[in-house]
Chains A and B, each alone.
Chain A
Amino acid sequence: MSRLATEASALWSGLQARLQRLRGSDPTTPTTPTTGTPLIRPSQVGVDRVLVGAVLGLLAFGMVMVYSSGAVFAAKKYGDAAYFLKREMIYALLGLGALSVATRIDYGLYRRLAYPLLFLSIFLLAAVLKIGSRAGGAIRWFRLGPLSFQPGELAKLALCIYLAALLARKAEKVRVFSIGFLPPLLITGLMMGLLLKQPDLGTAAIFGAVALGLLFVAGTRTSYLILAVLVALPAGWKFIVSTPFRMRRMLAFLDPWAFRRDVGYQITESLISVGSGGVAGLGLGDGRQKLFFLPEAHTDFILSIIGEELGLIGVLCIVAGFTLLVWRGLRAAVRARDVFGTYLAFGITAMFGLQALVNIGVVLGSLPTKGLPLPFISYGGTSLVMSLFSAGVLANISARNPEPHEGLIPAARHALKGANRRLDVGPRLVVEVGRRRSPNP
């Protein structure tokens, strides 16, 4: 007990110290001429290599597991065990391109594109309900020949950009109900409504959570947030109870073994899979559950196979990878050069973190079954490309580049010229823009 108390008090005093430092920093420190207020003055640290490393590590892990978990199914369905791997590699290459481009584009650009992107996303989300193709009972995809595109994935980034831009612009007015609270929630609600039509409850819930998280970070009155949650809960409950399959899923979640032969099948197979892996796992490629026992082994339930083949060690690697990603993402948010950057970085990070948590929670039976992929790991083209692009945006924010002064077009040109090559290996040149901060003011 005493040890715990000591640790807690140490933690508390550490926190106090940090708060003190926060308050103690010079409130009138000149900053780069931006509209937002930076939390910390830009210091040009370059792209966060830990952040990018975490993303690339998860991606590599994902490639291996997509092959291992999907080979048997692919061999049976397409006559080619590497079918999913090949497609995933193509998407990964596209995604790496997107990552590197996004890392080079100054994120300030998105602020100007916030509304076009938002309207495009809403339009596509609406359109997919009309002309999208159905798979597994949900309409989520546009099919373009061999490729497919999932507008929900684009909407994730668009929502983050929109909310970040809105909240950054409203600044202090976010505390006003009709300005800082209602508009973002209405837009988010609209998107959630369209997602629920697909139906895609998982993504909709993530959207809601990210929006509330951003509002919280932006300083919306806590009472509004509580109000929103209080309104959402009964609505969500009604939503679940009114759809029989959701209700059965909920029952299956509460007692999966009782529904082992029908709605609980997937979750019980997943638990069996994860559990049978033990600490060290059965060995990569030696899992049995992918022999058609576990549906969607290479997509939403890929972590089950990781748990079976690589054991607790494998699962903890994934958890650690996402923890690292979230930590570095929040760090980027805190250290962003302006509030828009802070909000955007937070939004993207929260998007990744929540998706990972929900997916892992589902696989481990802690949450009711949702159709959510595990970012960077699960098989799925749009998700991978968009996740990597978003990671690139995050990386760009983490770089704390100075804001280009040119307009929109020059900004883009500036970005494409490759002004920021922080991914390059080698000694980093730290360029301080604006007034150099002297060690002794």
Chain B
Amino acid sequence: MTISGRWTRVRIAVCGVVFASLFFAVGRRAFHLQVNDADRLRAMAEEQYLREIELPPRRGRILDRNGADLASTADVDSIYCNPRQLPDPRDAARKLSRILGVDRTDLERKLEQRRFFAWVKRKVTPEEVVAVKALGLPGMAFTREPRRFYPNRSLAATIMGHAGSDGGGLDGVELALDHQLRGTTSSVQGIRDALGRDIAVEGSVEAPSSAGSDVVLTIDRYLTFITERALADGAAAHSAKGAVAIMMDPRTGEILAMASVPTYNPNDPGGAEEAGARDRAITDVYEPGSTMKTFTIASALDAGVVKADDRFDCLMGRMMVGRYSIHDTHPHGVLTVAEVFKFSSNIGATKIARRLGRDAFADALNRFGFGHPTGIGLPGERAGVVRPVDKWGDIGLANISFGQGISVTPLQMIAGVSAIAGGGIYRQPRIIARAVGADGTIETLPVAPDRRVMSASAARTMLGIMRGVTEVGGTARQAAIDGYNVAGKTGTAQKVSNGHYDPSKWVSSFLGVVPAEDPRLAIIVILDEPQGGHLGGAVAAPIFKEIAEQALRYLHVAPTTEGVASGKGAPAAGKEALAAKAPPPATDADEAAANDAPATDLPLDDDALGEDPALAEKWDEVAGTEGGRAAGQPIERVVIPDFAGMSLGQAIHAAHKNGIELAFDDPEGRATGVALRQHPAPGPAPRGVVCRVAFGRQE
């Protein structure tokens, strides 16, 4: 009995030793984890709970050359909710969809997921917020998000592109200069929980986020407006599939207007793609047709192989080149070089190009910028196609001389003709004038240096030849403007479909320079597949005339021809009124910026923000705050903003901007949701004040 008792003690002791060694083992394991592996595991822990709370700066504005707003940013309300707090998601979805006009089944699906967060609708109107609050649904919360506004609606939309809901540029200038517009985002290190909510902020804002730069464009809002309207009207009248117009200042290379049809409203960019809205001036290539003769003859004149009065036999409209025959629309006999251009003879152009020679011609086209992107700095610009010269052959040379077998962008054409208009100097087309930082620093984009592409005298001669087109007997009488000499060229090209020229599809264009003696404007108008008529002189020239006439008046360009009273004859009463309202000359950007008022009276066809009351209201708000900010604040005192409704990030941002220290009331470590209470109340306070803000879910 006792032997067994003794052995029992021994066995218990054995168990004790086993226990002791096991406890020692777990202790050693803990030591291993917490001493040897501590750094690695701590890094993993920090990776999952530390996060940078970004404090995005306000996106810069896009301005026209006179400082008028083309794009701006304002805060709007958004509604989200915690679906877990909804007792009846289906019922909630029904009620919300009725107020907010969102798809009920979509919303139902979102709310039925038992998540902690779901957007109900982003970027809503104040009325919608009030209506949703009135529902009294549990779990609803409201926040403010920045939203991009385009106050002029579709004006210059295809140039500017638009910014996405996360604030990044998606197309056009918004994309090209996204870096400048975006500004530098500063961040604070914060702790978040596993549900991704911000809990608290550690440390202070190191570098304040600097607002995005304002981007100033070379375009003029008014000129853009008249260009777009004339183009849209013309395209509609001819049921064209698309249309492009570009207005350029040949003296500087600045684009004053660049319009595309169809366009879209960037405030609601959803339908842009579907509608085919894009910046056709740079993204579309076309066969230029007869407008190309401008460069054929200009090159020949520059090379000195022909003079304006050299004669060419145009063979009564039919000429064989190898197995191919070339036709003229109207048969001509012997024509001077000027007449070849005026009557747009294909045979004459072919003969001139032959005299110039293949290599010289190809070299000239290269100098005029064909086959390369212009480098205007907008996304999606195309190069066009100029085939290698050794592949041209005789027929290739002939075709290119009158604009077939070559593809160009509208912008290349206007840049090339501007070189002729500008005395033979090619200037890289520019649409982005500068980016002005929040601190006033000015950034300009690199521009290729101006380069001479032809002699000044040849350019002058060419302009003289081009005047013939709008004179009696020319192909574009309808482009003539009372009081001004217009140099130009029509173009009417058949479109290629299925490898053949399609006799029912045309591209009609007009390339014009005005005044011809001292060019101020170079304008190209292109219509894609106009119905009814298709001749460039009949379709595109009148649009050119309408644009140029109003632009000349707006720019106060003195009439150059004697005996014609400027503007007294033709223009209709409406246009007269429109022009009368136009602001004084605004070629000097600085001077105009100081006097922005006339630009705001623009008779935009629809009220710019019309159909969207939320936009209109927000726009007023933005305008109001801008004014308020300009009034300035005393420096010794700071103003405590009203934090109510701000998210953590917004509150930090606002506090930083106003020079206020922020403290969080979060006994539970729950600085989530939005600011509910604050102390002291909004208003002026001595510098150095600490404002306590309590966060929570809005009930």
Contacts and interface: CB of A to CB of B under 8 A. Distances in A.
Interface stretch (B13-21, B128-136, B383-391, B651-659): B13-21
A319 B41 contact: no
B526 to A, nearest CB: 56
Contacts of B26: 319, 357, 360-361, 364, 366
Given A27-B2, A292-B193, A330 B42 contact: no
Interface string A283-308: 00000110111000000000000010
A24 to B, nearest CB: 10
A57 B25 CA distance: 22
A187 interface: no
A422 B278 CA distance: 92
Contacts of A75: 668, 670
B37 interface: yes
A353 interface: yes
B501 interface: no
Nearest to A38: B5
A391 interface: no
B193 A275 contact: no
* Chain A interface SS verdict (over half): helix
A37 interface: yes
B191 A288 contact: yes
A172 B4 contact: yes
Interface in A311-357: 311-312, 315-316, 319, 322-323, 326-327, 330, 333-334, 339, 342, 346, 350, 353, 357
B9 A323 contact: no
Contacts of B668: 71-72, 75, 81
Interface in A154-177: 171-172
Nearest to B26: A360
A276 B29 contact: no
A275 B33 contact: yes
Given A75-B668, A278-B38, A330-B16, A22 B6 contact: yes
Contact of A326 (B16, B35, B191): B16
Nearest to A280: B34
A431 to B, nearest CB: 24
B1 to A, nearest CB: 5
A402 interface: no
Contacts of B193: 72, 291-293
Contacts of B23: 319, 322-323, 326, 357
With a 10 A CB-CB cut-off, give which of B9, B12, B42, B191 has the most chain A CB atoms.
Answer: B12
A398 to B, nearest CB: 14
Interface stretch (A62-70, A96-104, A247-255, A266-274): A266-274
Contact of A288 (B5, B16, B29, B45): B45
Interface residues of A, number: 57
Contacts of B4: 37, 171-172, 219
A275 B37 CA distance: 6
A421 B4 CA distance: 33
A392 interface: no
Interface string B39-56: 011101110110000000
B31 A312 contact: yes
B30 A312 contact: yes
B41 A39 contact: no
Nearest to B669: A72
B33 A271 contact: yes
B45 A273 contact: yes
B34 A37 contact: no
Contacts of A25: 2
A239 interface: no
Nearest to A281: B34
A138 interface: no
A342 B49 contact: no
Interface in A12-59: 19, 22-23, 25, 27, 37-39
Given A217-B15, A326-B23, A291 B191 contact: yes
Contacts of B9: 22, 39, 334
B139 to A, nearest CB: 14
B577 interface: no
A123 B468 CA distance: 113
A277 to B, nearest CB: 6
A27 B6 CA distance: 10
A323 B19 CA distance: 8
A271 B15 contact: no
B11 A219 contact: yes
With a 10 A CB-CB cut-off, give which of B1, B5, B48, B669 has the most chain A CB atoms.
Answer: B5
Contact of A275 (B5, B6, B34, B669): B34
A171 B4 CA distance: 9
A185 interface: no
Contacts of B20: 323, 327
B27 interface: yes
Interface string A359-377: 0110011100000000000
Contact of B30 (A23, A172, A333, A364): A364
A39 B8 contact: yes
A325 B30 CA distance: 20
Interface in B332-389: none
Given A75-B670, A293-B48, A319-B30, A350 B6 contact: no
A350 B30 contact: no
Given A292-B193, A366-B26, A311 B16 contact: no
Given A172-B4, A312-B34, A334-B13, 18 more contacts: A72-B668, A271-B33, A272-B41, A275-B41, A275-B42, A276-B38, A278-B38, A288-B191, A293-B193, A312-B31, A315-B27, A323-B20, A327-B16, A327-B20, A330-B15, A330-B16, A342-B8, A364-B26
11 contacts: A216-B11, A275-B41, A276-B38, A278-B34, A288-B49, A291-B193, A292-B194, A293-B49, A327-B16, A334-B9, A342-B12
Interface of B: 1-2, 4-13, 15-16, 19-20, 22-23, 25-27, 29-31, 33-35, 37-38, 40-42, 44-46, 48-49, 191-195, 199, 668-670
Instruction: List 10 tightest A-B contacts by C-beta distance, closest first.
Output: A275-B41, A291-B193, A292-B194, A276-B42, A276-B45, A312-B34, A278-B38, A22-B6, A293-B194, A315-B30
